[in-house]
Each structure stands twice: as structure tokens, then as C-alpha cells.
Amino acid sequence: MSPIRMFIRGLTSLRRRSVAENTRFTELVQDIESSNMLKKTTQVMQILLRSWKFILRLVKE
């Protein structure tokens, strides 16, 4: 499991626990939103890297 996925799972479990205890941590919500943004950014970067590698292969041929 990747570190990002472990981080997101940890934040999600903390959020579930805060809901179960009827408490809401605004910092926790902000952290989860930030981690979702980080996950999306990472996915976009991976797609761009694959595209760039493909373009480089085409140029070399």
C-alpha cells in the first residue's frame, strides 16, 4: 500500500471516529480535503508522466 493511500485511510478512520463520538474537527476535515487534492494531483502527475514517456518513445523512433 502506498504512503498516500495509508495517509488517506488513516484520516478517513479518524473522521469516522469523530463522527461516532459526535465531535467534528475542522482541522481533520481540512486535512481530508487536502489529502483528496493530493491524491488527485498525484494521479494527474502519473498520467502526465506516462504521456511524456510515450511522446519520448515516438520521438526516438
What would the grid cell of residue 42 be? 498525484
What is the residue type of 17? Answer: R
> How sure is the predictor about 45, in pLDDT bands with cuts at 50, 70 and 90?
confident
Length of the chain: 61
pLDDT per residue as tens digits for the range 49-61: 888 888 888 887 6
pLDDT per residue as tens digits for the range 19-41: 777 766 666 566 667 777 777 78
0.85 cut: is pTM over it?
no
Q: Spell out the SS3 assignment of the chain.
A: CCHHHHHHHHHHHHHHHHHHCCCCCHHHHHHHHHHHHHHHHHHHHHHHHHHHHHHHHHHHC
CA–CA distance, 28 with 19 (Å, rounded to integer): 11
